[in-house]
Amino acid sequence: MMTRRHRSAIAALSAAACMAVAICGCNYTTARPFPANVRTVYVEMFRSKEFRRNLEFQLTEAIQKRILMDTDYKLADKNRADTMLTGQVLEVRQATLGTDFRSDLPRETQATFIVSFQWKDLRTGKTLVDRPRFAQTVDYIRPVGEDFFDASQEALDDLAERIVEQMQSDW
């Protein structure tokens, strides 16, 4: 049971915390980092020049999820959306960073995913963001059970996060 003395102490502590934040100059802003005039986005299925299956599907889905998680935008059909995001997986490269000295098998591998994307306002026809070559690199270690599938999941999730960050209002 909380007594009157406890409530007074809690109120005093709360007031002190608020004053400390005000005095230290901490700025909390409610400014929206994404353009306020955009409410809906249509994410077109990414295309792919790569012969690896499903990369374009995984990237498109990751971007859609990231938009819903990190922005105030809603996903919409093309004919009802304010903007449209399109893109293409251009290239996937793999390189061995280190080999096992006994077996000469790859120990650590690097995968680089290169994409292009464009974000366009469908109402005005204006291109909001255009990135013709946008890369993401991840490393994976085969001896601990990581493989290209693990690397591609991580890289595509990271790409989706970075693509959505590019949709911020600094353009």
* Orientation of helix 148-166 relative to helix 55-70, angle to 10°: 40
Which CATH number fits the domain that encloses residue 105?
3.30.160.150
Task: Show the beta-strand stretches assigned E in the chain.
Answer: 40-43, 47-48, 74-75, 83-99, 106-121, 127-141
Q: Is residue 27 part of a domain?
A: no
Q: How far is CA 3 from the centre of its chain?
A: 48
Q: Is residue 117 part of a domain?
A: yes
Q: Give me 161's structure tokens.
A: 């996060």
- Mapped onto helix, strand or coil, the DSSP state of residue 50 is coil
115-154: pLDDT as tens digits: 999 999 999 999 999 999 999 989 887 767 778 888 889 9
Is residue 171 in some structural domain?
Answer: no
In a domain? residue 158:
yes
Question: Is 8 part of any domain?
Answer: no
Q: Which domain holds residue 144?
A: 34-166
| Residue 25 falls inside a structural domain | no
Amino acid residing at 153: Q
Residue 11 lies in a domain: no
Comparison of pLDDT for 57 and 109, the residue scoring more: 57
